[in-house]
Amino acid sequence: MRSVRARAALGATVVVALAVVAAGLGVLLVLRANLTDQAGLQAEVAARETAGQLALDVPYGKLGMSDEEDHPVQVTDEGGRVVAVSKDLEAIAGTGTDRVTPQPSPAATEKSDDDHDGHDDHGGHDDDDGVSITPGRGEVSTDAPHFSNGTATVDGDSADYRFASIEATNSAGLTLTVHAGAPLAAEQRAVASVRGAMLAGLPVVLLVVAGVTWLVTRRALRPVEGIRREMAAITASEDLSRRVPEPGSHDEIARLARTTNETLTALEASVDRQRRFVADASHELRSPIASLRTQLEVGAAHPELLDVEGAVADTVRLQVLAADLLLLARLDAGERPGKARVDVGALVHEEVSQRTGDRIAVTVSVPEPGGPEVTGSRGQLARVIGNLLDNAERHAESSVAVAVRAERGGAVVAVTDDGAGVPEAERERIFERFVRLDDARARDDGGAGLGLAIARDVATRHGGRLTVAGAGEHGARFELWLPGSR
């Protein structure tokens, strides 16, 4: 199932189905429990009514349960004998015994004989059938009744019942148990009705949930489809100036569209920068290669006219430019700086000591041994300092100075010259690749315009920064800040 809409609809439907089924089962269980409790209460009332009569020594044949058509009653003695049942009770199950034919109880027979022999002495009276009824002193158990489920057949109709069992003791001390039932037909009909309604409504609910989820998901994902189509068009046309549509909402999809456009903007800028870099590199390489070829061709035709020094200078220039381009390529590829601990003061002394051919002597001011240290690539950091010194030598009139100091938990290398300085409007542009502010200057004197770009890239990848500012009325001051080693 590849469609997000289909997966969302299916997932929502399954979740709702499980929730509805669980809720339905809960409702059915609660409904059944409540109705069963009501039936049990009715059975308890019927059982206590009969038990009360037994406690008053009402004879079994005179118990007022002949009209209990909905409440079958069974009375058993201590020995489990059935001594009385309600009218038309033909079968019973769930009370402990399934007999429905009353059997005479020995204790009850003896009690009945005693009452018959001595009724004149006790002041009893005869009822209409000539049976003596003497008021008793029995009692009905106040304990909670015992409930059970069973079946009974009354006048040919079988049904399920909820039985309540109550104990009663007559005046002779005979304990009898009354089992009275209440029908569960109402509970069964109600549960069946609710269950049927739920089963009939469940498919409708699930169809509605699936349909609504499908439509809502389709509407929510419509902007995503627009973004996909536009990205496919951008890929096919290779036109990075195009942008995906941004919905007016402020949800995750809108943020996705904005992030996609920001990525496209960064990608477009990167591609443009790469194209300019290739074009500028080709242009920079063309001049020394053409000059070197011309000199070699002249030397081949007229050996006496070969400018060896010029050929060597062009070759050195090509070597330096190739090294710069290779370093930039490694930086663009994400090369990580090293993890060596570098003494910045010692590194500056080392770089200055190697510059024996500079036209202006460099003044050095560094702390005593034990100065600030940084973590990084010693070769790349030496390249940064060398490029800054080359730039200062190129533009200085009479002085170049380099100073090292600890500042803000790191090391600062400041290179100052007394040249013409850098106009404030151009102080960021000079760090771009192949940029030279003095367009009239000869290329041999001005370099390729990569030194400061390389210096800033290396500083940034070391977690530092490289800035330029004015140095008094004349000159420029370049400051390199690098975080201290940890």
Pairing mode of beta strands 157-169, 175-183: antiparallel
471: left (phi over 0), alpha (psi -120 to 50) or beta: beta
Query: What is the CATH code for 240-335?
Result: 1.10.287.130
The string of pLDDT tens digits covering residues 411-455 is: 999 999 998 888 888 888 888 888 776 543 444 455 677 889 899
As given in the structure block, the two tokens for residue 454 are 């390389």
Pick from 31-45, 151-165, 196-210, 267-281: least confident? 267-281
As given in the structure block, the two tokens for residue 321 are 């430019």
**What is the H or E stretch that residue 402 is in?**
strand 400-407
Residue 39 · residue 164 · CB < 8 Å: no
CA distance 39 to 71: 10
CA distance 462 to 478: 17
Report phi then psi at 334, rounded to 5.
Answer: 90, 25
The CA angle 190-193-196, to the nearest 5 degrees, is: 150
| Cβ neighbours around 389 below 10 Å, total | 22
Residue 156 · residue 90 · CB < 8 Å: yes
Handedness of CA 434, 439, 445, 446 (dihedral sign): negative
Mean predicted confidence (pLDDT) in 160-185: 92
- Domains in the chain: boundaries: 4-190, 240-335, 337-483
The string of pLDDT tens digits covering residues 88-143 is: 888 999 998 899 888 866 554 444 444 444 444 433 434 443 333 444 568 988 88
Residue 395 · residue 419 · CB < 8 Å: yes
State the pLDDT at residue 335: 80
Topology (CATH) of 337-483: Heat Shock Protein 90 (3.30.565)
State the pLDDT at residue 412: 93
Residue 152 · residue 181 · CB < 8 Å: yes
Residue 363 · residue 385 · CB < 8 Å: no
CA distance 206 to 261: 39
Portion of the chain with pLDDT greater than 90, in percent? 36
State the pLDDT at residue 141: 87
The string of pLDDT tens digits covering residues 267-307 is: 888 888 788 778 877 877 787 888 888 888 888 888 877 77
Handedness of CA 25, 30, 35, 36 (dihedral sign): positive
| DSSP-assigned states of every residue in 22-64 | HHHHHHHHHHHHHHHHHHHHHHHHHHHHHHHHHHTT--GGG-S
Three-state DSSP class for 405? strand
Beta-strand (E) ranges in 301-354?
A: 340-343
- 372 by Cβ neighbours in 10 Å (0-12 / 13-18 / 19+) ranks as buried
Pick from 63-77, 218-232, 427-441, 466-480: least confident? 427-441
Q: In the chain, count of helices (H) and strands (E)?
A: 9, 14
CA distance 431 to 420: 17
Handedness of CA 221, 223, 229, 234 (dihedral sign): negative
**What is the H or E stretch that residue 140 is in?**
strand 139-140
| Average pLDDT taken over every residue of the chain | 84
The residues near 86 (Cβ < 8 Å, ≥ 6 apart) are: 65, 66, 68, 71, 72, 73, 74, 154
Q: What is the greatest pairwise CA distance in the chain?
A: 171
Report phi then psi at 450, rounded to 5.
Answer: -110, -15
Pick from 71-80, 102-111, 128-137, 462-471: least confident? 128-137
Pairing mode of beta strands 157-169, 400-407: unpaired
State the pLDDT at residue 447: 63
Three-state DSSP class for 158? strand
The string of pLDDT tens digits covering residues 369-388 is: 767 899 999 999 999 999 99
Residue 382 · residue 390 · CB < 8 Å: no
State the pLDDT at residue 106: 57
State the pLDDT at residue 247: 85
Residue 478 · residue 466 · CB < 8 Å: yes
| Cβ neighbours around 391 below 10 Å, total | 23
As given in the structure block, the two tokens for residue 2 are 């590849």
The residues near 31 (Cβ < 8 Å, ≥ 6 apart) are: 190, 191, 194
240-335 and 337-483 in the same fold: no
State the pLDDT at residue 440: 36
| DSSP-assigned states of every residue in 340-378 | EEEEHHHHHHHHHHT-TT-SSPEEEE-PSSS--EEEE-H
Closest CA to 411 of 389, 385, 390: 385
Report phi then psi at 483, rounded to 5.
Answer: -65, 145
Rg (CA), the chain: 54
Of 45 and 68, the one with more pLDDT:
45
